Chains A and B, each alone.
Chain A
Amino acid sequence: KAGVTQTPRYLIKTRGQQVTLSCSPISGHRSVSWYQQTPGQGLQFLFEYFSETQRNKGNFPGRFSGRQFSNSRSEMNVSTLELGDSALYLCASSVPSGTDTQYFGPGTRLTVL
């Protein structure tokens, strides 16, 4: 079974621009979660989507948004990019089956100049 895929793997943007990242979950997985990893803050939860609905949200500003499509694929968008948004953005999928075992993709490395 193919794992979680994320595109693109690397991205360079400038301040003020917006960016869209894509995630395809493992086949059969209906929950998709997004995390941000930075050296200073570690891995932090952004939001989770299930059946095209956002179920949980972390403590990030409204510039960070996402959506999920009927095939469970998900996108996240960051508007008005800031230097501090430079990070590894990780997508994780799960069934879910009542536990929170999530399987992660390789991530998208975003650099904001």
Chain B
Amino acid sequence: DQQVKQNSPSLSVQEGRISILNCDYTNSMFDYFLWYKKYPAEGPTFLISISSIKDKNEDGRFTVFLNKSAKHLSLHIVPSQPGDSAVYFCAASAMQGAQKLVFGQGTRLTINP
């Protein structure tokens, strides 16, 4: 039973354009969502998060949108840069402070020059 799903295993985007990564969840108890970026042989790096009381959070080139009614969140990267090529994981937690993250399977983003 996969509670957090990233349905696109891979995404290819031109440098300078917008990258949109999607994530769906099924557990309505999730109230905190995070995006992590991972390079091979390294641990995930925290990018941005959003609480369920918000529908948008922005940090530089990264914006996360949350649609609670659709149980859907997305990460927008604008403009995309070659260094953004990595695997992106969506994660969620129920009961804030529980420190138990449920991860999606990841989307491999490739930025083409």
Contact = CB atoms under 8 A, between A and B. Distances in A.
Nearest to B103: A43
A103 B43 CA distance: 9
B100 A56 contact: yes
B73 interface: no
Contacts, number: 74
B111 to A, nearest CB: 23
B98 A100 contact: yes
B7 interface: no
B43 A4 contact: yes
15 contacts: A4-B43, A31-B99, A35-B103, A43-B44, A43-B103, A44-B103, A45-B102, A56-B99, A58-B100, A90-B44, A99-B51, A100-B99, A101-B49, A102-B46, A107-B41
B34 interface: yes
A100 B34 contact: yes
Interface residues of A, number: 29
Interface in A70-113: 90, 92, 94, 96, 98-107, 109
B100 A99 contact: no
